Amino acid sequence: MRLAVIPGDGIGPEVIAEALKVLNEVVPAAEITRYDLGAARWHATGELLPESVLGELRQHDAILLGAVGDPSVPSGILERGLLLRLRFELDHHVNLRPARLYPGVRSPLADPQEIDMVVVREGTEGPYAGNGGLLRKDTPHEIATEVSINTSFGVERVVRDAFARASNRPRRHLTLVHKTNVLTHAGSLWSRVVEEVSLQHPDVTVAYQHVDAATIHMVTNPARYDVIVTDNLFGDILTDLAAAVTGGIGLAASGNMDATRRNPSMFEPVHGSAPDIAGQGIADPTAAVLSVALLLDHLGERESARRIEASVAFDLATRDHQSPGQTYAIGDRLAALVSSNVRTG
Ligand code: NAD
Ligand code: IPM
Ligand code: MN
């Protein structure tokens, strides 16, 4: 197994160190190559993602990323030039973001019930496509555009993926989240594709919600969701909210996948570089550890993935959530749990 690791910025390297401890317990033979992309490299050389590095990344089975973004770098440089460039170049059209309320974890909701959903966020189009610009810059009449791109090819492939996932889950329910009442062009494309693909999945029940209403339901009754399929920006926003209602952003994992498997998929916590707590050793590495589980599952190492998830579930069920401990202590605990699980089978 050849893995590329991009620790990145802020708490990225802190949580990745713990994720690698856990990975080492289940796949000690994994061949790991580190890439020092991020703020420090940009400051030192001006480089974000050199072609040669991109070429090397392509030679790996998967990529594990911590987080990118730093207050010392103008907003968007690293996010667009590194993270989004990776997602676009490697055709990561399925951005998979499960959100589950683990036993023992306290949701901020009074009565959360059983939350177990997966958000299938489109990953290569929408307002993220970079189709925008400035006119009459620095004049009182400046115009800024960020035009959302929605292709029938792009929408169909992510909708198909979401239906396939819904089909394989016990509740077989899919919710399209969009804003068809205002974004009528993209909205009708998304609605039509969902309707068409649903004909091939009579086993899956389908619902639709406007994104504003979805934020209400995400707080008042998130247990209603099974699979959500949505565009790039709505999916970004909804998954931070889904993480919050399931116990916090420190637990939320994600996979940026090329479902065709032509390019390596990339796994990363949903959270960012958290400059407000970086360097303090208090970031929760659980999201990074669960991202390793998603990575292993994607590579067909289902048993190893299951072991990691079971260890996280055990730790969360027994954790003192008031004082969960330092980043390294959580990592040590998870690594020990995984290792004892490995030994006892
Ligand atoms: P953020 O996710 O970094 O932080 C939001 C809040 O969550 C902060 O209060 C932070 O302390 C907390 N938090 C995040 N991860 C945590 C963890 N593991 N344990 C405990 N608390 C945690 O979002 P932000 O502050 O909006 O963004 C900071 C930077 O990260 C920006 O540069 C942004 O562009 C970037 N970013 C990168 C990614 C990514 O690399 N995938 C994702 C989101 C944001
Ligand atoms: C995420 C982040 C990124 C996104 C940013 C940093 C480009 O917020 O992974 O959720 O918007 O996709
Ligand atoms: Mn985000």
What's the farthest any 2 CA atoms get from each other in the chain? Answer: 69
Which ranges in 59-210 belong to alpha helices (H)? 77-78, 85-89, 152-167, 184-199
Distance CA 239, CA 218 (A): 10
Q: What are phi and psi of 100, to 5 degrees?
A: -135, 140
Mutate to test the pocket of ligand 1, among 5, 271, 327 (most ligand atoms within 8 A of CB): 271
Instruction: Please tell me which residue in 21, 70, 91, 128 is annotated as part of the active site.
Output: 128
- At residue 190, the pLDDT reads 99
Distance CA 163, CA 175 (A): 10
Per this entry, what is the length of the chain?
Answer: 345
Distance CA 221, CA 61 (A): 38
Reported as a single tens digit per residue, the pLDDT across 234-288 is 999 999 999 999 999 999 999 999 999 999 999 999 999 999 999 999 999 999 9
Residue 165 has pLDDT above 80, yes or no: yes
Residue 343 has pLDDT above 80, yes or no: no
**To the nearest whole percent, how much of the chain has pLDDT over 70?**
99
Query: What ipTM did this prediction achieve?
Result: 0.99
Reported as a single tens digit per residue, the pLDDT across 201-240 is 999 999 999 999 999 999 999 999 999 999 999 999 999 9
Residues β-bridged to residue 146:
132
Binned at pLDDT 50, 70 and 90, residue 342 comes out as: low
Residue 139 has pLDDT above 80, yes or no: yes
For residue 288, give the ligand 1 atom closest to its CA. Answer: 18
pTM attached to this predicted model: 0.98
Q: What share of the chain is helix, strand, coil (3-state, %, to 5)?
A: 45, 20, 35
The residue nearest atom 6 of ligand 2, judged by CA position, is: 79
- At residue 324, the pLDDT reads 81
Q: How far is the CA of 80 from the centre of ligand 1 (A)?
A: 16
Which ranges in 27-84 belong to alpha helices (H)? 39-45, 51-58, 77-78
Residue 344 has pLDDT above 60, yes or no: no
Contacts of 56 (CB under 8 A, 6+ apart): 4, 33, 35
Binned at pLDDT 50, 70 and 90, residue 341 comes out as: confident
Instruction: Please tell me which residue in 91, 102, 179, 297 is annotated as part of the active site.
Output: 179
- At residue 28, the pLDDT reads 97
Mean pLDDT across the chain? 97
Tell me if the domain spanning 107-246 has CATH number 3.40.718.10. Answer: yes
Q: How far is the CA of 181 from the centre of ligand 1 (A)?
A: 31
Bridge-based pairing of strands 62-67 and 2-8 is parallel
Bridge-based pairing of strands 143-146 and 132-135 is antiparallel
Residues 318-330: what's their mean pLDDT? 92
Per-position b or e across 205-226, b if 16+ CB within 10 A of its CB: ebebbbbeebbeebeeebbbbb
Distance CA 167, CA 159 (A): 12
Q: Is 240 in the pocket of ligand 2 (CB under 6 A)?
A: no
Q: Is 96 in the pocket of ligand 2 (CB under 6 A)?
A: no
- Which CATH architecture is the domain 1-96+253-345 placed in? 3-Layer(aba) Sandwich (3.40)
> Which ligand sits closest to the CA of 237?
3
Q: How far is the CA of 84 from the centre of ligand 2 (A)?
A: 8
Q: What residues does CATH 3.40.718.10 cover in the chain?
A: 1-96+253-345, 107-246
Please report, for residues 117, 199, 217, 259, the alpha-carbon distance to residue 159 in angstroms, rounded to integers and kept in the order given: 16, 12, 21, 12
Q: Write the DSSP string, 236-285.
A: HHHHHHHHHHTT-GGG-EEEEE-TT-SS-EEEEESS---TTTTTTT----
- 3-class DSSP assignment, residue 221: coil
